[in-house]
Each structure stands twice: as structure tokens, then as C-alpha cells.
Amino acid sequence: MNNLLETLMLDIRSNGIESLSRNESRPSMTGALDLFNKQTAGDNTILTPDLKAKLDASFGQVVKASVINYDNPTISNVRTCAVQVGGVTTKLVPFTFFTVAFGFPMVPAQYVNNDVGYETVFMRQLKDRIIKTQALLDTKCIDFANVNKNKFFPAEMLAYYSQVASAMQVPLQTDANGQQNWNGLFNFLQSILVQQDFTGSPDILTNPRGMADVRQRLSQGAQNAVNSAWEVPGTGNFFQSPRVLNSGPGVAATDYAILPGSVAITNRLDPDCLMADNYIGSKENPVSEWTKVPLPELGDYGLYYQSACSDQSAALAAQRLEGLTRTRIESFEWSADYCIFGAYNSDPITRYQPIQKFELLAA
């Protein structure tokens, strides 16, 4: 009998990174971030070219914008020779930033005898971090909308819906088709905005359950027993995110109606990454380098690159690379500072905000 033990083939391998494992690196819906980006780029954006330029150059500084408060003048019905009274109150609105940074190391020698190549691992790690950053920014935008939602509810507002924690409570209804939904919400929304002296078609941010209601509404046109599609054209664009969370078990879905020109998001880079030819070593083979690079879905980011000699023998021993006692290691770190802000309101307690929150009740 032949003895072929030592010449048995190793595992037969196929590359399934882009097929079998694609779900391991799947992106998420980032509706809030998309909405904020849309309004930032809109014709009536609150991020003016002057403000954008100053925020871009504000590293280490605080940017403040001058505004004028709402004035409630007295209108008389008589003429008088008395000197008139009144005037405006000005304020300075500060802008604050938060930092987003991510990165990873790469050991080029690790890929010499490996089925998975350097570029594949590099791009996968970068993609995963871009997806995680998008989700983080999406959450930040949702939090901003929730904190800055309308908090003024006089009697004329409560004539539409009651409110709990500054969220209008939309009751569940049963229509003529026997379907349960929240018909009337977008019709009332137009009247609510007029009551608040706002104009325009608000963008709607919702969660997946709320988007299901929108799709159902759009499918019920003039040829159906109940026509609800006519309500929707009064709105702007619809955006959904799984990070729009309901406040409790009694809420089935949550909507935010945000008027155009109400919110914005922008970023800035650190000075080192904005400098041209900023490196240590040679330009062709830098030991350290600071540059500005575009990232998919995120735009311009600062990149800090390092290259050094490192003992990786212990870290890579399980991969039979204990001989890498003085190997080359690279470090990549991307970063940016973000500012999220909204239209100014001199008194959110007694004046309407252009962000309305609706909770669609489960029963």
C-alpha cells in the first residue's frame, strides 16, 4: 500500500472575502446624517460661505456668530410727539466641535506568505471604520434633533395632539379598510407649521417602523377605498435610521419633521494635516507624514502616517512569524473635528422650534 501522508494537499481555499463575508462589513442606514448633509448643502443653508471659512480655520479658537433676538414691539393706534422707545438685543452664538479619530497598524511582512493580501486587509479595516464613524455621526445628529425639538405647546398646538416630553402623541387609528395606521399626521403637520408661522416642506426623519407607515400611505392612492397618498406631497424628503429609538413600549414609531435650513453639519482638520509637504524623513519614504485625504462617504479627513521598526515576534508568534524581531510596522490614523448646529432661537421655551417630534402610539 502506498504511503502518501506527507504529500497530502492542504486545505483547498477560495477567496470569499467579497462574497461569503460581505455581511460582516455591511453599511447601515444613516438617515439623520444624510438629512443633515442635505440641509447643509441646500440653497437656504445656515452654513454660509463666510461661516464655513471661519469654522475651517478655527482650530484652537472659538467661533461666534452675531445674531439678533426676536423683538416684540408695541404697536400703537395714536400719534405722539414723544420720543419713541424700543431697540434690538444682539447675542453671540458659539460653535463647538467634537473629535472623531480612528486607525489601525499594518505589518507588511505579515502578508508575504498569506492568501489575504496587504491591500485587502487595509481596505477592509478602513471600510469598517468608515461605517462605524457614519453610525456615530448619525447618532449625534439624532441626539441634536431630539435635544433641539420644539418645546413650546400652547393650547393651539394641543388642539392637534397631546404632548409628552415635548413629543406630540399621534394615536393609532383604524381606517375604512380595517388597517391600523396614523392617517392624518402629515395633513396636520402642514397646519401645525402654519400655526407656528413656518413655511416650507419639512424633511422627515423616522425609524424603519415609521417608514413602513409612509410606504403604506403612499400605496393608498385615489383608486383605493381610502386615499392617504395625498398627505405626503406636502413634505420634503424621507430619511430613515435604525438609531431613531422609541421612548418606550407604548410607542410604535418616532418621526422628526425638520424644516429646510434648520440644521447643518461640517468638519475641520488639524493644522498639521493642512500643511503642504509636512513630513519627517524623505517625501518618498517618510517616517511620519501629515496629509489631507478624501474618504468615501465622509469627505476630507486628516491622515497621520508613521513607519517604524518594531519587534512583532510575540504578537505574531501564533501566525508562525516569531522571527519578525525587527520588522517594519506602519500606523494610520484618520481624524476630523465636527460641528453640528441649528437655526438660532432666542427663547426655545416660549418660541417655536423648526424641529417637531411625533411619537406614533402603539395603541
pLDDT means per 10 residues, the chain with 363 residues, are 81 87 92 98 97 97 97 93 93 98 97 93 97 98 98 97 97 75 87 95 96 80 50 84 96 97 98 95 93 97 97 95 96 98 97 98 91
Using alpha carbons, list the distances in angstroms from residue 113 to 8, 95, 255. Answer: 19, 51, 53
Q: Does 146 map to a domain?
A: no
Q: Does 284 map to a domain?
A: yes
- What nine digits make up the cell of 341? 448646529
Determine the pLDDT at residue 174.
Answer: 74
Q: Does 273 map to a domain?
A: yes
Query: Do residues 97 and 302 touch, judged by C-beta distance below 8 A?
Result: no
Determine the pLDDT at residue 68.
Answer: 97
d(Cα 31, Cα 13) in Å, to the nearest integer?
Answer: 39
Determine the pLDDT at residue 221.
Answer: 53
**Which three-class secondary structure state does DSSP give residue 283?**
coil
Determine the pLDDT at residue 176.
Answer: 64
Strand partners, 281: 286
d(Cα 212, Cα 325) in Å, to the nearest integer?
Answer: 57
Structurally, the chain folds into a number of domains equal to 1
Determine the pLDDT at residue 225.
Answer: 43
Determine the pLDDT at residue 180.
Answer: 72
Pairing between β-strand 355-361 and β-strand 251-258 as defined by DSSP bridges: antiparallel
Q: Does 298 map to a domain?
A: yes
Query: Do residues 177 and 226 touch, judged by C-beta distance below 8 A?
Result: yes
Query: Do residues 156 and 148 touch, judged by C-beta distance below 8 A?
Result: no
d(Cα 117, Cα 112) in Å, to the nearest integer?
Answer: 8
Q: Which of left, alpha, beta for 197 (phi over 0: left; psi -120 to 50: alpha)? A: left
Using alpha carbons, list the distances in angstroms from residue 216 to 49, 210, 226, 246, 338. Answer: 40, 10, 11, 20, 37
Structural domain boundaries, residue 335? 266-341
Q: Does 296 map to a domain?
A: yes
Of the candidates 105, 159, 158, which has an alpha carbon nearest to the alpha carbon of residue 304? 105
Q: Does 281 map to a domain?
A: yes
Determine the pLDDT at residue 214.
Answer: 86
Q: Does 15 map to a domain?
A: no
Q: Does 272 map to a domain?
A: yes
